[in-house]
Amino acid sequence: MLYIILLLILTISWSVFLYELLSGRLKHGNTGCADLSNELNGLEAKKQALDLENTRLNEVFAETLALYELTMDICKTLDEEKVFAIFCDNLKKHINIKDCQYIKDSAGLIKYKDYMILPLNTEENQIAGYLAVDGILDTDKEKFDILSQQLLIGFRRALFYQKVQGLAITDSLTQVYCRRYFIERFSEELKRSRKNKLHLCFLMIDLDNFKQFNDHYGHLVGDAILRQVSKTISDMVRQIDFIGRYGGEELAIVLAETDKEQASFAAERIRQAIEASVIKAYDEELKVTVSIGVSTFPQNNDLRMQDLIEMADKALYMAKETGKNKVCFSPA
Task: Let me know if residue 323 belongs to a domain.
Answer: yes
Give all strands (DSSP E) within the chain, no chain letters. 99-103, 116-121, 127-134, 200-207, 242-247, 250-256, 279-281, 284-286, 290-297, 327-329
Give pLDDT, residue 205: 96
Task: Let me know if residue 274 belongs to a domain.
Answer: yes
Q: Which of 80, 189, 249, 250 is an active site residue? A: 249
**What percent of the chain is modeled with pLDDT above 90?**
36
Residues 125 and 153 in one domain: yes
Q: Is the pLDDT of residue 229 over 90?
A: yes
Residues 94 and 208 in one domain: no
Residues 137 and 91 in one domain: yes
For residues 101 and 111, is the Cβ–Cβ distance under 8 A? no
Give pLDDT, residue 275: 94
Domain that holds residue 195: 179-329
Residues 221 and 299 in one domain: yes
Give pLDDT, residue 1: 60
Backbone region of residue 324 per phi and psi (left: phi > 0; alpha: psi in -120 to 50; beta: other values): left
Give pLDDT, residue 10: 67
Residues 126 and 245 in one domain: no
Backbone region of residue 125 per phi and psi (left: phi > 0; alpha: psi in -120 to 50; beta: other values): left
Residues 189 and 148 in one domain: no
Task: Let me know if residue 237 belongs to a domain.
Answer: yes
Alpha-carbon 143 to chain mean position: 22
Q: pLDDT tens digit string along 309-326?
A: 999 999 999 999 999 999
Give pLDDT, residue 214: 87
Mean per-residue pLDDT, 224-239 = 93
In the chain, the amino acid numbered 304 is R
Highest average pLDDT, of 69-73, 231-235, 303-307, comes from 231-235
pLDDT category at 256 given cuts 50, 70, 90 is very high
Q: What is the CATH number of the domain that holds 87?
A: 3.30.450.40
Domain boundary pick from 130, 145, 169: 169
Q: How far is residue 145's CA from residue 130's CA, in Å, rounded to a whole number?
A: 15
Closest CA to 87 of 56, 118, 113: 118
Overall number of domains in the chain: 2
What per-residue string of b and e applies to 318-328 under the rule 16 or more CB within 10 Å gives b? Answer: bbbeeeebbbb
pLDDT category at 64 given cuts 50, 70, 90 is low
Across the strands, what pairs with 177?
A: 170, 244
Residue 82 CB burial class (10 angstroms; 0-12, 13-18, ≥19):
middle
Closest CA to 115 of 133, 97, 103, 128: 133
Domain boundary pick from 108, 143, 169: 169
Across the strands, what pairs with 284?
A: 281
Residues 141 and 224 in one domain: no
Residues 185 and 148 in one domain: no
Domain boundary pick from 134, 169, 204: 169
Q: pLDDT tens digit string along 114-165?
A: 888 888 887 777 887 888 888 888 888 887 887 788 788 888 888 877 777 7
In the chain, the amino acid numbered 66 is A
pLDDT category at 170 given cuts 50, 70, 90 is confident
The yes-or-no answer on residue 249 being catalytic is yes
Q: Is the pLDDT of residue 90 over 70?
A: yes
pTM of model > 0.85:
no
Task: Let me know if residue 62 belongs to a domain.
Answer: no
What per-residue string of b and e applies to 112-129 under the rule 16 or more CB within 10 Å gives b? Answer: beebbebebeeeeeeeeb
Alpha-carbon 202 to chain mean position: 33
Q: pLDDT tens digit string along 4-61?
A: 666 666 677 666 666 665 666 656 655 656 666 777 777 777 778 777 877 777 766 6
Task: Let me know if residue 162 belongs to a domain.
Answer: yes
Task: Let me know if residue 244 belongs to a domain.
Answer: yes
Q: What is the CATH number of the domain that holds 204?
A: 3.30.70.270
Give pLDDT, residue 33: 62
Q: How far is residue 65's CA from residue 78's CA, in Å, rounded to a whole number?
A: 23
Task: Let me know if residue 120 belongs to a domain.
Answer: yes
